[in-house]
Structure 1
Amino acid sequence: MNGEEIYHPGSWIEYEGITMLSDGELERYKRQIPLFGEEGQEKLKGSAIFIAGAGGLGSPVSLYLAAAGVGRLIIADNDAVDLTNLNRQILHGGRSLGERKTVSAARRLSDLNPDIEITAIDRRIDEESISGMVKGADGIVDAMDTFEVRYLLNQVAYKREIPLFHGGIRGFYGQATTIIPGETACLSCIFPHPPPAEVIPVIGATAGIIGSIQANEVLKYLLGMGELLTDRLLLWDGMRSEVDMIAVERNPGCPVCGGMKR
């Protein structure tokens, strides 16, 4: 089923171009609507986010965005569920072993929130496929484990002028930043050279922490609330339970964003 899209439609009510909330949704979100009002919830419902990867980071990101009511999640992965995934990839369970991750993810997210739309794409993310995958998305979540694909996501984010929410993990350590094209340092500014390729050791709790930060950034961006994690690289040290912040700057000579006006 390589390349097949799994589409689970949610229940949408539109009136004069405005996405309206159903009575069931008003009840579902009653503990968060006091934070940003029905208008904010309608903004979430009218938004679409592309999530690159249904693994360790993609699991908490997609689960929390689905639970919050982001109206459409586009999630891409080209792998099957393996027993070694289950220490951290909480989208999947024992009955998903051997199943395509897109199938497992779509089923879990639709069960969590049947009022949203899930488009799950079982295809490798590459230069040929990425443009179509992110079409209509308001932002891109980097939930990958290779810098080859991360750089590609960074490039398409700048081409489409939509934000990139980066996250990375290794063992008890993690990092996150939010990139706004034309305003902030991009991924190539922060990491001009990729780290050596390796099989990355990781525990689920680290993925949960960084994925939750990424989901929080997405929600703040869509709602226009708070201070985004821009021009800052958050570093999580799980061994010491400490967070450090590193200021980052745009590189005028960056091949991706160097020519964009700020």
Structure 2
Amino acid sequence: MAFSPEETRRYARHLVLKGFGGPGQQALKASRVLIVGAGGLGSPAIAYLAAAGVGTLGIADNDRVALSNLQRQVIHRADAVGAGKAESAAGFAAALNSHVDLRVHDLKVDAGNAATIVGGYDLVLDGTDNFATRKAVAEACEAAGILLVSGAVSMFDGHVTVFAPHLERADGTPGPRFADLYPDGIDDDDLPTCEATGILGPLTGVIGALMAMEAVKLIAGLGDPLIGRLLVYDGKTARFSEIAFGDGAG
């Protein structure tokens, strides 16, 4: 899969990057990535993955852009208020990088359609803000053997992890499941909403960018992904901490 002269110039800083280079960029170009949620976390993830040269980028969201979104959902413009978020996000990505094949899913992902939607992709990022959708996406990815990068934010804090129950870790234990971190019985009524508690805008940029970083690592086979590790960011103290979970947690 050869690069055009324009692509070679565009991705020059990747191509000279030791440990990434041409093979890493080829892997990005061949990848098919779905981002569920084009809001606070989806915005930076979409921007960075489109800029990085992901070959096929799917965007799933049935919400509409609201004025209150613009404080943190930075890929949407004021003139997009009222428009579908998936279409608005795809317009941003297309203007950023015409080499990306964009697929718009203007629908609500739920238990009834998640398997069909994620089935066309190699990697999924979930940045949605409701538990029912997150669970449906996680279960669909687990059943299909698809890696899932999951992020969440609230007020001043956020976290990110990677679910990979179909993979064995170095010690031979299975990769973590969504249920290892979120036990049965949790529902949306148990979780705070940003409408009720608020959220600091740049926090979504921190966690969304970390999600994009994990995605690039997984695609390129680079480094040590957050499989079985929950990376937690405290925005008020500017500190990161890490929690191990799953069968391999010690």
Look up the equivalent residue of 1:130 and give its one-letter code.
A
Q: How does 1:1-262 map to 2 (within 5 A)?
A: 19-35=1-17, 36-182=20-166, 183-192=174-183, 193-194=185-186, 196-200=190-194, 201-250=198-247
Q: CA shift at 1:249, angstroms?
A: 1.8
What is the TM-score of this pair, normalised by structure 2? Answer: 0.90
Residue 61 (structure 1) shift: 0.6
Amino acid at match of 1:50: L
Distance in structure 2 (CA, Å) of the matches to 1:146 and 1:122: 17
- Structure number with the higher helix fraction is 2
1:157–1:181 contact (8 Å) kept in structure 2: no
Letter in 2 for 1:157: C
Task: Give the 4+ runs in structure 1 shifted more than 6 A.
Answer: none
In 2, the alpha carbon distance for the partners of 1:83 and 1:101 equals: 12
Q: TM-score by structure 1 length?
A: 0.86
Distance 2:85 2:246 in 1: 36
SS at match of 1:164: strand
Q: Is the 8 A contact 2:43 2:75 kept in 1?
A: yes
CA distance in 2, matches of 1:135, 1:170: 30
Q: Percent identity?
A: 36
Cα displacement (A) at 1:247: 1.1
Native 8 Å contact 2:110 2:137 kept in 1:
no
* Whole-Å separation in 2 of the counterparts to 1:128 and 1:152: 8
Q: CA RMSD in A?
A: 1.3
What secondary structure, in the 3-state scheme, does the structure 2 residue paired with 1:159 have?
helix
Which residue number corresponds to residue 254 of structure 1? Answer: none
CA contact (8 A) 2:80 2:88 kept: yes
Kept in 1: contact 2:149–2:161 (CA 8 A): yes
Stretches of structure 1 that go unaligned for 5 or more consecutive residues are: 1-18, 252-262
Q: Which sections of structure 2, spanning at least 5 residues, go unmatched?
A: 167-173
Shift of 1:187: 1.5
